[in-house]
Every structure is written in structure tokens, then in C-alpha cells.
A and B are shown apart, each in its own frame.
Chain A
Amino acid sequence: MSNSDATPGPPLKLVFKSLLRADFEVFLQRRRALVVGLLLPIFLLVTTRGDKAAHQFDGAVFIIGLAISYALLATSVLGYALTVSRDRERGVFQRLRVTPAATWTIMASRLTVQVLVNLIISLVVVIVGTRIHHISPSIGQYGLVLAVSILGGAVFLSIGQALAGLVKSAETMQALARVLFAVLILLGILGQTGALGTFWSDIARWSPVGVVMTLFAGVLQLSDWHSRETFSILACFVYVAVCTGLGIRWFQWDTR
């Protein structure tokens, strides 16, 4: 005899609301990390104020794109992935998994808060960047910036998810995330300036940081939108699909 139809589990709405609230409370506790994460992009915006510096980086819009990409990468790879890894090692996920909360709700709640954080970061960087570099985006362009933030954030979050799936130890994750972060950022900056030659410039252009930078620059200068920007959108979806696939396929809820 089965009682499975008699009483269902707790309502999904209440479960998700509880998770979301807790994850938001955790985010509020870590808000200092958010502020620190914003300092370097803003520093980048300030130090590239002059025409010469902006020209070196293919224009001010690319600098803003780079600054947002940097901030999103930092919060997704160094923030999200490391937190997931640490919580897994501490047994936080195991404690949540013995409750009737579906595992997808646990991750979806965290990702929702992270997407919100990404939007806040992007808006702050764009507002500061456009003020410093004297650009006046329209309301529509701000909307597009938010849309690209979601897509760009998804690229970096999926990279973070892939890292969390492939690397079990929080300590290894910490080291690897920092190296990956440095490599991607350097590739984005040096590749974009052409300092590493044409070959690396092409690689940099289609790297995760490169395609996201291209998109941010594209929406801030819509008159220059070409096929490269369109293909960058496709590249973003490919990165998200591949990295999310890796992250889900190999993800383990505990370190055993």
C-alpha cells in the first residue's frame, strides 16, 4: 500500500521563497565582497579616462565592456563557484538535500540571487563608466546593457558551475579559480590591445571575456553593430551550453 498520493510534499512556492530569502540574507552578509569586487573595474574606468588610453583599448565602450566583464567574472568565478565549493565541503548542501526541497530549487535560488547581483554590478559600472568617459546611452541602451549582463553573467556563471562540477576540493578550486580568472582577464586585455599579436588577438576576441566585452561595446555603440557582435551572441550561448553541461554532468553534492 502506498501513501504517496495522500499527502504531497511542502508547497514549491514556500520552499523556493524560503531558499531565496536565505540566499539573499547570505548575500547581504557578503556585501563587502561585492564592494571590493567593484573597486577594480571602477579603478580601470578611472585610469583609462584619457583619449590615448581609450584609443589603445579600441574606444571607451570597450573599456566599459572590459570593466563589466571583469566584475561579472570576479563575482561568478571567484564568488559563486568558490561559495558553492566551500558549502559543499562544509556539508551545507547535504543538510539542505535531506529536506523535501528539490535539488534544482537549491541551485536555482542561488543562481537567481547571483543574476540579481550581476545586474546591480553591471548597472553601477555602466553608470560610472559612461559618466567618466562622457558617453550618453539611451534608456533603450541601458535596457540592452541589462540584457547583455544576464547573458554575460550566464556565461561566467556557467564557467563557475563547470569549475564546481569538475573540481571537488575547495582548496584546489580556490587556486584554480584565481589562475583562470587571471588568464581570462589578461587574455581579454592584452588580446584586445593587440600586444600579443594577431593570433592571440583572434583567440582573445572569441574567448568568454572577449565575446562579452564585444557585446557590451556593441550595445553601447549600436551604430557599429556588425556580424561579429551577432556571432558573439551565438558564442555566448555555446559557452553557456557547454559549461552548464559539464557543470551539471559532473557536479556532486558532497565531497565523498
Chain B
Amino acid sequence: MSETVRVIRGERESAYLVAEEREDGSLLLVPAQSDVVAVRAGAGDAPAAVAPASVVPTTEAILDVDGLSVAYGDQLAVSDLSFQIRRGEIFGFLGPNGAGKTSTLSAIEGLVKPRSGAVLLDGIEVRSHPMQAKARMGVQLQATSFQAELTITQIVRLYAGLYGVELSAQQISENLKEIGLGAEADKRFKQLSGGQQQRLSLYVAVVHSPLLLLLDEPTAGLDPQSRRQLWTRIQSIRQGGGSILLTTHSMEEAQAVCDRVAIIDHGVLLTADTPARLIEKHREDPKVRAVAHGEVTLEDVFIGLTGSEIRE
């Protein structure tokens, strides 16, 4: 890590060190004293350029989860979980099935009442001020379901209104054209393809330009083209200054896209850091080495930490 790269953003100039130079020419940039801020990767369906310098995350926390515990009856789904998400950051929340990812997201979204702990969004306590907090977040649930009888235009108008955004018919039409759904304006949600549904769900989630976007497995079931398109949109949301918390089972995507990732299992946070640092930290871990084939990847670290057994 010796080469220095200077990045100019407006009138500011920042220095970054090249943490890694990959075979495909991509660079992993690390600011002198902070986290990884820019990854250029091109593997598989992951985006080719995911973190332009103009969207370097700040150290200011937009979301602060402190000692969060969620239980369903006697079953503890999340236990004493703490983490922060910074402004302009893409934060990956990784874990096997049933690890507690969706429960954590549900607590942040205000869908479940935590047993203990606090969630602060932009300084607002989510439990005591749910409406103000929800107005600042956009949510894409794992399985989005809009009213089956409504057309796409009607869905957009409804959800924009719920976030306090009044859109005229012309504005809705133009916005739908922008996301490639202009011809589908009068169709029902179920009549759209998987990729189109995902685009609409994402558009509805960000119709009010939220400070924090929560995405629960946004790429599940999408073809490579739709995935690529989705990541491009997520990047543009981040460039607009938003922070993103996402869950995914694709380690390749997480490694390529996320500024930082947290790995959770059995409701407990196992580790959280930049993908590069996690790999570095656990490179020599025997459990990780045992599952790695060649160069250690984030997936190797994930499986090493959470085990190889299949979860239901």
C-alpha cells in the first residue's frame, strides 16, 4: 500500500492510498486514516464502479443502533446489537437465514417493538417519534406487496402522498418514464416483471429522498441485467447524499458495493468492518482457511464465521 491517489471533490482535495490493485485493473482506495471509501470492481454482476469519490461517507452517524434486542415470545431473534451507519455510506448486513437481519430491519422500520435498546435515525428516537423517523427513511421490504387493485400510477400517487410529496399526473408520468415504466403506468403491480417490480419498489421507497434507505435482499430473484440496473440506481441514490442499509446473500455484491459490512448470526453481531479489513483480519483464521479456495474472499470469511451447515 504505497501509491497515493489525490481526489478532487469541489474545492476539496483528499489523499487516498491504494490498498489493492486487482488483476482487472480495479483499485481499492483507503483514505489515510479512515475506512475504505472507494472500490472499483467488475466481477460477475457486481457494478463496475461503485463508490465515486464524490460520495465519500462522512464519519457522522445517520443511524445509531445501540444494544438492540428483539424477541418473539420467548425466542430471542436479536441480542444486544449495536452498530452505526454514516452519512453517504452503503452498509451491508450479512447473515445466514434466520440470523436476525430482517428482525433488525423491522425494529429500525418500527414494525416490531424491540425488547430493549435504542435506534436513532438522524438523532430521532425511532420508538418515541416513529412518524418523524419514518419520514426520513425509505424502505424496500423483502416481499413488497401493494394493493392488487391499484395501477402503478395510483400506487406512486398513494405512497408519495404518505410521505408528504404531492405529485401531479404529469410528474408521475415523467418519473415513471425515467425508471423505464412509462408504458406500464396503467398496469397492476402483479402484471410487471420481477425487474420492473423491483424498480417500482425502489422508486416508491425513495420518492421522498430519504436520509436512509433500507433494502431487504433487493437483488433476490433478479436477472443480471436487472441487478446491474438496480445497483446503478442505488449508487445514484448514494450520490444524492443518502445512506443505504442493505441485506444480501450475495457476498460478491457486498464486497463490491458496500463501504462496510456487518456479519450477524443467531441474533449476535459477529464482526463489522470494511470488506477489505474483514478479509485481512480473518485471513489466517483456521475456520476461514478451511473453507477458502485460493485467495480469501468475503464469502470465505462469512462461511468461516457462521459455519457451513445449511439454515432453514
Contact = CB atoms under 8 A, between A and B. Distances in A.
Contacts of A8: 131-132, 135
Interface in A127-185: none
B111 to A, nearest CB: 6
B162 A101 contact: yes
Contacts of B240: none
A95 B145 contact: yes
Interface stretch (A19-27, A40-48, A74-82): A19-27
A42 to B, nearest CB: 25
Contacts of A26: 147, 149-150
Nearest to A8: B132
A9 B134 contact: yes
A17 interface: yes
> Size band of the B side of the interface?
35 or more
B149 A4 contact: no
B161 interface: yes
A91 B131 contact: no
A2 interface: yes
A195 interface: no
B125 interface: yes
A2 B124 contact: yes
A43 B148 CA distance: 31
Contact of A22 (B125, B144, B154): B154
30 contacts: A1-B123, A2-B129, A3-B122, A3-B123, A3-B132, A4-B123, A4-B125, A7-B132, A9-B135, A9-B164, A10-B165, A14-B164, A18-B157, A18-B158, A18-B161, A18-B162, A29-B150, A87-B147, A90-B145, A91-B145, A92-B147, A94-B145, A98-B110, A98-B111, A98-B137, A99-B159, A99-B162, A100-B131, A100-B162, A254-B111
Across the A-B interface, give the 10 residue pairs with the lowest CB-CB distance, nearest first. A10-B164, A18-B161, A9-B131, A29-B149, A91-B145, A99-B162, A98-B139, A3-B123, A22-B158, A100-B134
